[in-house]
Amino acid sequence: MAVLIDGKQISKDIKEEVKDRVAKLKEDGQKVCLAVVLVGDDSASAVYVRNKKKACEYTGIESLSYELPGDTTEEELLKLIASLNQNDEVNGILVQLPLPKHIDENKVIEAIDPKKDVDGFHPVSVGNLSIGRPGFVSCTPAGIVELLKRSNVEMDGKQVVIIGRSNIVGKPMGILMLRENATVTICHSHTKNLKELCKQADILIVAIGKSKFVDAEYVKPGAVVIDVGMDRDENGKLCGDVDFASVEPIASKITPVPGGVGPMTIAMLMHNCVEALSLQK
Ligand code: GUN
């Protein structure tokens, strides 16, 4: 039976650490402020944004909220970002994705000042990560490294297999694992022998958005399994990309869904907001 990696508790620990740092900064007369921008009325995005603002409140980070109608033009959004870039009171800028189809997401991400890019999506942040310079790191993969470190999972010299090659999770995850001296394989929809490759992993990270895709046949006994999925099963119940009931008996450690990777994303966002202040000083 696997030990559960408790993302709820670990994310709480990180938020407590952020809260302490924010309180100390306040004593020195400094404050941390995140601008959160939501365009349109996507219900999932609205929930994410609400949770991000709640986490700000909890940690003592100020938040400015911009909830714009779905017919906001790209020009209007770029104008708002330019004004937030200029505003010295704002340390971090988060534009919730996805954006409505008539807005070019890449253009919007590139408009954010890299010093305020707390999501770590700007090409400058991605470039810094890939050449090992300090900078903002995408919150979900950064959160997974924290989960592993705080669960005493050794990464150095291990075989890490990642399924999924997205810009937000798979690719930065691969680079972060290289930074931890792991040997990394990134798999995707065109990968041949997926099961065989996954079965070699000491640490298997699954980020594909397909409910219960990975079962015990993909997992080496004793492997650590990280599930980034947030899916619905055939009964509409929240589940991950990993078939937990099948994999849990043979893994050594595993993240549950919910309560595994999910809460880490927001905790790392809060961490990045405090880091933003130091970067701007
Ligand atoms: N949409 C889904 N995940 C994220 C995230 O981490 N940041 C932003 N800005 N949008 C998202």
Dist. CA 249 → ligand 1 center (Å): 32
Considering the chain, tell me which residue range(s) the CATH 3.40.50.10860 domain(s) occupy. Answer: 30-115
Considering the chain, tell me which residue range(s) the CATH 3.40.50.720 domain(s) occupy. Answer: 139-262
Dist. CA 172 → ligand 1 center (Å): 14
CATH superfamily, domain 139-262, is NAD(P)-binding Rossmann-like Domain (3.40.50.720)
What is the band of 252 on the pLDDT scale with cuts at 50, 70, 90? very high
119 CB within 6 A, ligand 1: yes
91 CB within 6 A, ligand 1: no
129 CB within 6 A, ligand 1: no
36 CB within 6 A, ligand 1: no
Dist. CA 250 → ligand 1 center (Å): 32
Estimate to the nearest angstrom the gap between the alpha carbon of 262 and the chain centroid.
Answer: 8
Q: What is the pLDDT of residues 93-106, one digit of tens each?
A: 999 999 999 999 99
Domain 30-115 has CATH 3.40.50.10860: yes
Q: How far apart are CA 178 and CA 191, in angstroms?
A: 20
Model pTM above 0.85: yes
Q: What is the pLDDT of residues 200-237, one digit of tens each?
A: 999 999 999 999 999 999 999 999 999 999 999 999 99
As a whole number, mean pLDDT of residues 122-138 equals: 98
